[in-house]
Structure 1
Amino acid sequence: MTRATESERAPDDVLVALADPIRRQVLTVLAREGGATSTSLAASLPITRQAVAKHLAVLDRAGLVRPHRAGREVRYEADLQPLRRAMLWMDTIAAQWERRLNAIKDLAEEAAGP
């Protein structure tokens, strides 16, 4: 069995992290604003700071955020590289399906004749 390359592996952690609408919103805010603390994120979301912290932990495990300690605060910044790898993986899967569907179409056209 061959070992899958980084771009061929299913990005499970990224897809799980992005399945939640609040986490998508948190990531959007971080990407747009360049960074924030869990407290400042909670001020703009309909959830508590503790809930934001839990969502940030999931995003961190997926590699979608990077925490940076600044004194007593922890600031989070978006890291979209794992998202780009997930998109590449999805593009690869889509291309494989496109080739298969085109092969089926060609076979069907050949069987139908002129």
Structure 2
Amino acid sequence: MTAPVFDALGDPNRLRIVTRLCEGGPCSTSQVAQVIPVTRQAAAKHLQLLEAVGLVSSTRRGRERIWEVQTRPLAEAGDYLAVLSRRWDATIGRLRAHVEDGS
């Protein structure tokens, strides 16, 4: 189901977190908190929500929690967007053909 993924990514801070993890690889909660303008506790809550929808996972390393992105939900969301894009392309193609035939 892609709706929870899109909902989670609809928040700018969570989108920044996922972007950071995609571009920079795994990092600690403290490092994530440096990427977004919120407290470490707020960053942890964002990360927990992202984990709940399957976008990130974490492991313990000493006292730190290390987070990394999970690509499968992103791939599924991308596949869904590709299907929508093809549908829109087909709809626009039919509209274009109708307009051109009616001229």
Q: Which interval holds the TM-score relative to the shorter structure?
A: 0.7 to 0.9
> Which protein is bigger by CA-based radius of gyration?
1
Q: Distance in 1 between matches of 2:33 and 2:98?
A: 56
Q: Distance in 2 between matches of 1:88 and 1:17?
A: 17
State the secondary structure of the residue aligned to 2:67.
strand
Of the candidates 61, 71, 77, which is equivalent to residue 80 of structure 1?
Answer: 71
Aligned to 1:66: 57
State the secondary structure of the residue aligned to 1:63.
coil
Q: 1:40 to 1:110 in 2, by over 3 A?
A: closer
Q: With the length of structure 2 as denominator, give the TM-score of the two structures.
A: 0.86
Equivalent positions of 1:5-16 (< 5 A) are 9=1, 11-16=2-7
- Judging by fraction of residues, say which structure has more helix: 2
User: Once the two structures are aligned, what percentage of the paired residues are identical?
Assistant: 32
Unaligned runs of 5+ in 1: 1-8
For the Cα contact (< 8 Å) 2:20–2:35, is it kept in 1?
Answer: no
Q: Distance in 2 between matches of 1:32 and 1:108?
A: 44
Aligned residue pair count: 103
Unaligned runs of 5+ in 2: none
1:108 to partner: Cα distance: 2.4
- Superimposed CA distance per residue, residues 64-94 of structure 1 (whole angstroms, 9 cap, x where no aligned partner): 1111122332211111221121111111011
State the secondary structure of the residue aligned to 2:102.
helix
Please list every run of at least 4 consecutive aligned residues from structure 1 whose deviation after the TM superposition is greater than 4 angstroms.
none
Aligned to 2:21: 30
Structure 1 vs Structure 2 CA RMSD: 1.7
